[in-house]
Structure 1
């Protein structure tokens, strides 16, 4: 018996393991993997973002060296370029859909190139053209990469879209406020928004995407926070010494007040008594006014209740009057309807009797004609035939 139960336990365990493996296969089969082209697009786009960050930082540092350190305006421009360029591109490049990320990155590079171009609004921010040359080179790099990753027709359509989108959404300041190109791109390609992202990939691909994003945060956040702190410190009129002096002054004032209270208990007690004497009339007046307001509210509440009761009674009376009036109207209409029904019944009965009498008369007439036809038709026919026979006999 023990061997039998053990055998069944082994069978059940095997079935459970088999079921788990089937479940695992089923769950895995529900996730559609990214295609090779999509994986290559994602990898190369994110590699380009690192190249973009490096080039922007190098160009910005080179521009910063051309201005004195106390030139707050241009040094601030340099920091703003690094901050907003890298924040904007990382939002564009690290999207779920590889193709959308490529298009958005392409658009951002084109917008930055147009901003620093001689026709752009950022052409005169710096004395040198390092910013424009760097932006132009980055735009050429992303365009060449898109040409390799996309088919001929897709690249042509993408280039037309990027050119038009940059005209419609050009940067107007170093804030580089990015307008996402997703909806415009989907409309340009006649793609429904529900089909923008077909799949997130398999579990390893999704985990790889999350890992890339976490790596980006760990690399970029410290740099950007440092640049923002430098920008705030550069444009702030308060330095660390001023803050420390202010805090020390507040600390000394607080300590002096505490020492005064501790060393002068009689004065504080006298002050409390004087405050009590001075504030008592105010408290009494406040109590009196509060009582008056409460009494007034009570009177208004009673008046409101009386008004509500009166209105309720009038409403009930009005409803009762309307009900009685409606009952009278219904009774009158019922009587009129009954009279009309009686009259109609009499008219119908009279008409029916007239029709019956006419029918009886017609029936009697037809019956008489039928009798005449039955009895007199043979007699007349015999008379006619006999007379005709007599005429023939006389003639012969």
Structure 2
């Protein structure tokens, strides 16, 4: 029985030790890899949906702008420029609003930008007469309704109503004055409206994967939007530029003649060019010496910074090693204590089981002895007593007769 108890204790201890080590490793990994608090599910959904809305915004604005552009002749530089300005500044402004660190602030700023654009193209706004028809206003109204419906799903009802009132007042105070669509960040006003200190505006940047995902989204945005915006800006410059092909050809011809004249002068005046080279060498030498000195200083400074960086990295590495060692020792101490406690508990349980078993065996023996005695009495003495009783009864009957 003692050997069985020891075997059971050994297996149980192995399982407990494995669980403790695995748990300790996971805690250590969490401490090393993620010192930041992860974003909540609501914050992640808000970030994803806001950035998805930005792509919808870009598509709708471009489609509406192309539709408006088709209604004007290509020679109408004024309205074609207005169309390009709307696409450029609307998409640049929404990029700045939607791709912020805080998901909630990005949602509020995006909502504000859509509401400002709707107000700008409304019949009462300053952009109402820029284009014929109302495609610009209808598109802006559609985009504002989309972001408002999305915010209603993401925010609690009370917070949504409060944000709706705030945005209405903010847009009335900061309307767009022109197609430049200069965005007024609403962060400070929103924090003041919510009675939040500016130092608590951003609680966390999220975990490392969340931060890398944020950077990946921003890089993807740049790769998608930058070529389009640069093309629109080039078209805008071309539309409003007075330079034509003849002017360019004349300029290139003039540059060619100037280059040929300079080459002819150099070829026919070697002494003058040699003297010029000597004079330039004398004049430029102090500049070159100063440049060499500054370059040496910068290299020395860079070397010092590199050494300081190596020292800092070595110190951080040593601190990390020390932290891992402390965690390992702490885990070892915990495991040792738990093992000792488990051993003591197992010995106590074994003793209790043995004592209980002995008591039960003794009770069983006592009960067996009692039943055996009763059995002997029933076998040997019951017939004698019954015979004696029957004989006595028969003698009494004979006496009576």
User: Fold conserved (TM > 0.5)?
Assistant: yes
- 2:69 and 2:80 in contact (8 A); partners too: yes
The answer as to whether partners of 1:112 and 1:135 remain within 8 angstroms in 2 is: yes
**Post-superposition shift, 1:202?**
1.0
Specify which of 212, 217, 242 is matched with residue 247 of structure 2: 242
Question: 3-state SS of the aligned residue for 2:136?
Answer: helix
Matching residue within 188, 197, 200 for 2:205:
200
How far off is 1:225 after superposition? Answer: 0.3
Residue 217 of structure 1 is matched in structure 2 by 222
- Residues 230-286 of structure 1 deviation map (CA, whole Å, 9 limit, x = unaligned): 0011101113552343133122123124324534779x79xx9xxxxxxxxxxxxxx
Tell me if 1:35 matches 2:40: yes
Alignment RMSD (CA, Å): 2.4
Give the secondary structure class of the aligned counterpart of 2:178: coil
Q: CA deviation at 1:120?
A: 0.3
Other-structure match for 2:353: none
The alignment status of 1:151 with 2:153, answered yes or no, reads no
Among 14, 37, 56, which residue is 2:61 paired with? 56
Where do 1:337-356 residues align within 5 Å? none
| Alignment check: 8 A CA contact 1:233 1:239 kept | no
Matches within 5 A, 1:1-396: 23-260=28-265, 262-263=267-268
Aligned residues of 1:111 and 1:166 also touching (Cα < 8 A): yes
Do the aligned partners of residues 127 and 24 (structure 1) sit closer, same or farther apart at CA in structure 2, a change above 3 Å counting?
A: same
Name the CA distance, whole Å, in 2 between partners of 1:87 and 1:180: 14
Between Structure 1 and Structure 2, whose CA radius of gyration is higher?
1
Q: Cα gap change, 1:241/1:159 in structure 2, threshold over 3 Å: closer, same or farther?
A: same
Aligned mates of 1:203, 1:147 — CA distance in 2:
29
Shift of residue 21, structure 1, vs aligned partner: 6.6
Instruction: Write the distance in 2 (CA, Å) between the matches of 1:220 and 1:182.
Output: 25
In structure 1, C-alpha distance between the alignment counterparts of 2:182 and 2:37, rounded to whole Å: 34
Quote the Cα distance in structure 2 between the aligned partners of 1:255 and 1:212: 52
- Do the aligned residues in 2 keep the contact of 1:113 with 1:135 (CA within 8 Å)? yes
Q: Scaled by the length of structure 2, what TM-score is found? A: 0.60
Q: 2:34 touches 2:208 (CA, 8 Å); kept in 1?
A: no
Is residue 115–residue 121 contact of structure 1 (8 Å, CA) maintained in 2?
Answer: yes
Instruction: Please give the TM-score of this superposition, normalised by the length of structure 1.
Output: 0.61
Q: Measure the CA separation in 2 of the matches of 1:242 and 1:165.
A: 49
The answer to whether the Cα contact below 8 Å between 1:39 and 1:98 also exists between their aligned partners in 2 is yes
Matched residues in 2 for 1:182 and 1:158: separation?
13
Shift of 1:151: 0.3
Structure 2, unaligned runs of 5 or more: 1-21, 277-401
Paired residues in the alignment total 255
CA distance in 2, matches of 1:225, 1:264: 47
Cα distance change of structure 1 residues 64 and 263 upon mapping to structure 2, 3 Å threshold: same
Deviations 1:42-81 (A, max 9, x none): 1110000000000000000000000000000000000000
SS at match of 1:70: coil
* Gap change, CA 1:264 and 1:204, over 3 Å in 2: closer
CA-to-aligned-CA distance 1:96-137 (integer Å, 9 cap, x gap):
100000000000000000000000000000011100000000
**Whole-Å Cα distance in 2 between the matches of residues 102 and 245 of structure 1?**
53
